[in-house]
Each structure stands twice: as structure tokens, then as C-alpha cells.
């Protein structure tokens, strides 16, 4: 088994982003990402700061818009304001959202041209229809990791465990666009291990620490672990039981240092693409 | 094996539509469906007339807007005009479209509130996000047929053969919303018959006459045949080889008299729902 090195992929992507950002700045465009943070959650604050640092490092300005105990209307107003601001190219609405507010609802107020984390359902629909769009960054990171490996997705059997709007469903649509035969599993799936064992490519996005063990993996399969489950000691573990799966899988992303850094790099790449789009779409 | 009677399902749906349309008319709202026909194709003209007749019969006014050799801009302008017309509640853009124009492109100009055949990618995205929306009528017809049978979709293995934006992908998303474990197959799928033989529910939407034969069907499975392939003598056959599959399947939709009449009934149902929506959305 070989580990898929998420940090190396992220570094390669970020080098491209830095070059694009430098070129845009020479043209007088300062690529700018705005992150709306509607929560006081500590983990979220840490994550948002890490995006901000990564952005600045590659030449992207990052505006963090913290909202104190916002209601739905305040979040919507901020997303509309940023969508209309010509100095802002990418807009993210960070989760968790306040009780009763869903990302699917408020995401519709992010302009599709600036929707660098694919939160607008129009972006998801364009993905399903095979049109140009920004997929959710985590789902795009899964594909980026797979496409940089020496494997054939065309005709491969891919199984995605998890049917969320932000990861499972868009990852399935991206894999389908690559001509994989795609199965989406979830909490109601029967004989889950057996279904997963059919997969050439297995994507774990369930949010349950270590749930995917050796029983779920065909020898030689490529396994992408999207899980980021906090541990008691402040660390992170994936949805895949690494020790059990590593001897069986052909390739496996670790957690941390797998999907996570690539997701951040994809957000930055989407932001420079969005900045580039302003040349034609204003 | 028992045939699933599409005409009976359509009749039940249309009776509900007629009652809703009558109630709306009493309130001064004349439910109105506009069909843009950008082709001189004979089969299309026949199909559009059949929608028109069905609509009028259930109390829905139907406007057929024939465009003679239109370009993309003319189609877009007509869809925008109808989307803005308060007297029109449902808008369909009929295919085939002129060379170089795709439904995914022009569908974006149909207001999602009037998009009764789910041609706007925003409608598809809302479907993927689990938000209220109009799915493409054919995909909705597949689900309507399944939900009226005495079978459990929750946890069932569903296989959809075909990944089109108008049928395969939305049918897969609808089945996923019902908590089926869903596999999408297509022309690049390996060992297609074996994958299909796993299905409790098999949806055939490939557009190849009689391709799905007994080898593809698990004994007792429910098979929905979306195919409408013209025969040399002017008839229609499905994607399923009826004679071969009928002895094996638990339930099977015939062609004609399966998905087709239900699709028309769904278009009418969507139109009365869209007319109802004008009370809140203008």
C-alpha cells in the first residue's frame, strides 16, 4: 500500500495558484476571497484562520466577515453584499450555521460566479448537467487526488459512502462525469461492507471515525478518506480505520494530510478562476 | 410477473389535476402551459399535440409556440418572454433543438417557478440538494410509478442504466432521496448485465431497443422501462426486451402504456402546482 500524499498535491496546486495570482495582480486584479463566519465555534475560527493564512501566502487577499449571532436574514444580506462587491471574487459561507438555517437555503444568495465552495444549488445543478461550475471544494479535492494518481476512472467501479449535498452527491456526480460506474451508499444501505468491497475506488464521507475497516475494502482498491472526526486529545481521525485498511488498499489517503490540504488549495484555485472570470462577466 | 399499468396511474393523476385545475379556475386562475417547439420534426409535433389535448381535457390551457428555424437567441428570448408572462404558469422547451444548441444551455432561461419539465440546471441542483423543485417529468414519472407499487425503496438496491441530464441523473437523485442505494451505469460500465442483476429496482433509460434482456434482471425485480425507440412499422419499443424479461421480473412497465402516459400526467400536475405557486410568488 502507498499513501496518497495530500500535502504534495496541495503544494503543487498552490504553486499554480500563486503564479496565477501574481499574473492577475500585474493586471491590476487583486484576487480576493471573502469568508462569512456566522458562528463563534472555536474549531471553525481555527479553520478559517488557516484558509486566510494559505490565501495570503499565495497572493490572495482574504476578508473574514464574522457575524455575531446572526439570523438567516443577516447572513443572506451579507452574502448578497459580497456577491455584488466587484472587489470580491470568491465567497464562502462557513458552517456551522445557526439553528434552523441550512447551507442549501442561504447558498442560493452567493453568485454562481463567486461560489468557490459550490454552495449554491445552481452550482450543483450545473455540475449534474455537465456545465462549467465550481463544485464543492471537498468533492473537487477527491477528484483532484484521484486524477493525479495513475489510475483509470473510465469504467472503474466507484462507491461513495455518504450522500451529503456538500460531499457525497457532488463527488458522485464528478465521478460520473469521469465515466466511472458510481454507487452512492448511506445509512440505509444494506450489506454496506459487501457493496463497498466491489469498489475499485472507495470514497468515505460518512463522518464516523474508523467506520470503514478491512471488511469494506477490495484488495488493491484506492481509498479516499474524507472524514475529519475530532479525537478526545484534540487530533483528527478519518472515516477509515487506517491500521486495518492500509495492508489491503492499493492506495489510501491519510487523515490528516490527505483530502484536507487539497480542499484548501482547491478553494484558492477556484478563487483565482473566479477572479479571472470577472474579465468577461464583470 | 405483473405489468405496471401506466395508463391507470396516469388516469388517477389526471383526475387529481382536473380537480385542482377546476378549483384554480374558480379562483380566477386559468392554469396555462406553454410549449416552445423549435423544430419541424413530425414526431415532435405529434407528441406536442398529445400534450395539448391532455392539458385541455383536464382544464389546463395549452399554448404551443412554434418557432420556425430558430437560432439559440430566438429560443432564449421566447423562454424569457414566457417566463415573464404572468398568464403562463408552466414552460417547456421541446427537443430536438437546432444543431449546436443544448437544453442545458437554454433551460437556464426558464424561470424555476415555471420549469415544469425540470430543464433549468437550478431545478436539477435543487433536486440534488433536497429542496422543493420540479424534477424532469420523465424522472418524476419513474418515481411516481414506483411509489404507487407496494414496494420498499428505503434500503433497496436501485440501478439506473443511463446518465442523461433529463432522465438518468435526476431519476438517480430521486431514488437517493427515497433512501435507495443507487448505482448509475452507462455505456462505459463493465459487466453491465452483472451489475444490473444486483438490482431490486432497475430503471432502463439508455435509448437502445430491447437492450435489457433476461441476463440483466434478478428474479422478482421491479423493472421500469423509460425507452421509447421507434420501430420500422411506426410503433414504439422500450429498452427492455419484454418477451425475455417478463417471465423473470416481478413487475415491469410495458412500452407503450408505461412511463409515457405518466410523464404527460406529471407535466400537467407540475403545471397546476406552478399555477398554485403564483399565489405566493406572483
* Contact assignment for A169 to B165 by CB distance below 8 Å: no
Within this chain, do residues A237 and A184 fall inside the same structural domain, yes or no?
A: yes
pLDDT at B282: 60
Averaged pLDDT for residues A41-61: 95
Within this chain, do residues A73 and A167 fall inside the same structural domain, yes or no?
A: no
Q: Name the residue among B128, B176, B186 with its Cβ closest to that of A124.
A: B128
Tell me: pLDDT of A178 over 90. yes
* Contact assignment for B130 to A104 by CB distance below 8 Å: yes
Residues in chain A: 282
* Contact assignment for B163 to A185 by CB distance below 8 Å: no
Within this chain, do residues B177 and B252 fall inside the same structural domain, yes or no?
A: yes
Query: What's the complex ipTM?
Result: 0.95
Quick check: is A125 in a domain?
no
Within this chain, do residues A146 and A223 fall inside the same structural domain, yes or no?
A: yes
Within this chain, do residues A66 and A143 fall inside the same structural domain, yes or no?
A: no
Within this chain, do residues A165 and A244 fall inside the same structural domain, yes or no?
A: yes
Per-residue pLDDT of chain B (282 residues; tens, 9 = 90+): 789 999 999 999 999 999 999 999 999 999 999 999 999 988 899 999 999 999 999 999 999 999 999 999 999 999 999 999 999 999 999 999 999 999 999 999 999 999 999 999 999 999 999 999 999 999 999 999 999 998 999 999 999 999 999 999 999 999 999 999 999 999 999 999 999 999 999 999 999 999 999 999 999 999 999 999 999 998 999 999 999 999 999 999 999 999 999 999 999 999 999 999 988 876
Domain of residue B102 covers: 28-114
Quick check: is A170 in a domain?
yes
Substitution target from A181, A187, A189 for chain B, most B beta carbons within 10 A = A181
Interval A194-213: pLDDT, tens: 999 999 999 999 999 999 99
Spatial separation of the C-alpha atoms in residues B268 and A278, rounded to whole Å: 41
* Residues annotated in a binding site of A for NADP(+): 162-164, 228
Is the Cβ of A193 closer than 8 Å to some Cβ of chain B? no
pLDDT at A150: 86
Cell representation of residue B37: 417547439
Q: In this structure, what CATH number is given to the domain that contains residue A220?
A: 3.40.50.720
Is the Cβ of B128 closer than 8 Å to some Cβ of chain A? yes
CA distance B187 to chain A (A): 9
Closest CA to B9 of B147, B158, B212, B134: B147
Q: Name the residue among B104, B179, B189 with its Cβ closest to that of A129.
A: B104
Q: What is the mean pLDDT of chain A?
A: 96
Is the Cβ of A131 closer than 8 Å to some Cβ of chain B? yes
pLDDT at A110: 98
Within this chain, do residues B110 and B141 fall inside the same structural domain, yes or no?
A: no
Model confidence at A165, pLDDT cuts 50, 70, 90, reads very high
How many structural domains is chain A composed of? 2
Q: What are phi and psi of B234, to 5 degrees?
A: 85, 5
Quick check: is A6 in a domain?
no
Averaged pLDDT for residues A6-35: 98
Interval A233-274: pLDDT, tens: 989 999 999 999 999 999 999 999 999 999 999 999 999 999
Within this chain, do residues B166 and B223 fall inside the same structural domain, yes or no?
A: yes
Exposed e or buried b per residue across A11-41, where buried means at least 16 C-beta atoms within 10 angstroms of its C-beta? eebbeebbebbeebeeeebebbbbbbbbbee
Is the Cβ of A68 closer than 8 Å to some Cβ of chain B? no
Within this chain, do residues B151 and B221 fall inside the same structural domain, yes or no?
A: yes
Model confidence at A193, pLDDT cuts 50, 70, 90, reads very high
* Residues annotated in a binding site of B for NADP(+): 162-164, 228
CA distance A1 to chain B (A): 25
Is the Cβ of B127 closer than 8 Å to some Cβ of chain A? yes
Cell representation of residue B93: 422547451
Quick check: is B196 in a domain?
yes
Quick check: is A187 in a domain?
yes
Interval A215-228: pLDDT, tens: 999 999 999 999 99
Quick check: is A3 in a domain?
no
pLDDT at A282: 61
pLDDT at A281: 72
Averaged pLDDT for residues A113-141: 97
Q: In this structure, what CATH number is given to the domain that contains residue B47?
A: 3.40.50.10860
Chain B hits for A158, CB-CB cut-off 8 Å, are none
Is the Cβ of A178 closer than 8 Å to some Cβ of chain B? no
Quick check: is B47 in a domain?
yes
SS3 track for chain A: CEECCHHHHHHHHHHHHHHHHHHHHHCCCCCEEEEEECCCCHHHHHHHHHHHHHHHHCCCEEEEEECCCCCHHHHHHHHHHHHHCCCCCEEEECCCCCCCCCHHHHHCCCCCCCCCCCCCHHHHHHHHCCCCCCCCHHHHHHHHHHHCCCCCCCCCEEEEECCCCCCHHHHHHHHHHCCCEEEEECCCCCCHHHHHCCCCEEEECCCCCCCECHHHCCCCCEEEECCCEECCCCCEECCECHHHHCCCCCEECCCCCCHHHHHHHHHHHHHHHHHHHHHHHC
Quick check: is A19 in a domain?
no
Within this chain, do residues A105 and A142 fall inside the same structural domain, yes or no?
A: no
Is the Cβ of B224 closer than 8 Å to some Cβ of chain A? no
CA distance A26 to chain B (A): 34
Chain A hits for B163, CB-CB cut-off 8 Å, are 176
Within this chain, do residues A107 and A212 fall inside the same structural domain, yes or no?
A: no
Within this chain, do residues B192 and B102 fall inside the same structural domain, yes or no?
A: no
Spatial separation of the C-alpha atoms in residues B175 and B4, rounded to whole Å: 18
Amino acid at each position: 500500500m502507498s499513501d496518497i500524499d495530500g500535502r504534495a498535491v496541495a503544494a503543487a496546486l498552490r504553486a499554480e495558484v500563486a503564479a496565477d495570482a501574481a499574473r492577475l495582480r500585474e493586471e491590476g486584479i487583486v484576487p480576493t476571497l471573502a469568508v462569512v463566519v456566522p458562528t463563534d465555534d472555536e474549531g471553525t475560527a481555527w479553520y478559517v484562520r488557516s484558509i486566510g493564512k494559505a490565501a495570503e501566502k499565495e497572493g490572495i487577499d482574504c476578508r473574514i466577515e464574522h457575524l455575531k449571532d446572526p439570523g438567516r436574514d443577516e447572513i443572506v444580506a451579507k452574502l448578497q453584499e459580497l456577491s455584488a462587491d466587484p472587489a470580491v471574487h470568491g465567497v464562502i459561507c462557513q458552517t456551522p450555521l445557526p439553528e434552523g438555517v441550512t447551507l442549501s437555503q442561504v447558498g442560493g444568495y452567493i453568485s454562481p460566479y463567486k461560489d468557490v465552495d459550490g454552495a449554491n444549488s445552481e452550482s450543483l445543478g450545473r455540475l449534474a448537467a455537465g456545465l462549467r461550475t465550481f463544485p464543492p471544494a471537498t468533492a473537487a479535492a477527491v477528484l483532484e487526488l484521484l486524477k493525479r494518481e495513475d489510475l483509470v476512472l473510465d469504467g472503474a467501479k466507484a462507491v461513495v459512502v455518504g450522500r451529503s449535498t456538500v460531499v457525497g452527491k457532488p463527488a458522485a456526480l464528478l465521478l460520473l462525469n469521469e465515466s466511472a460506474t458510481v454507487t452512492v451508499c448511506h445509512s440505509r444501505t444494506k450489506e454496506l461492507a459487501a457493496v463497498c468491497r466491489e469498489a475499485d475506488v472507495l470514497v468515505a464521507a460518512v463522518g464516523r471515525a474508523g467506520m470503514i475497516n478491512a471488511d469494506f475494502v477490495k484488495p488493491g482498491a484506492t481509498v479516499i478518506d474524507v472524514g475529519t472526526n475530532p479525537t478526545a486529545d484534540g487530533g483528527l481521525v478519518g472515516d477509515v480505520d487506517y491500521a486495518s485498511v492500509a495492508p489491503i488498499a492499493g492506495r489510501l489517503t491519510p487523515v490528516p494530510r490527505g483530502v484536507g490540504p487539497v480542499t484548501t488549495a482547491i478553494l484558492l484555485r477556484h478563487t483565482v478562476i473566479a477572479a479571472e472570470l470577472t474579465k468577461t462577466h464583470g
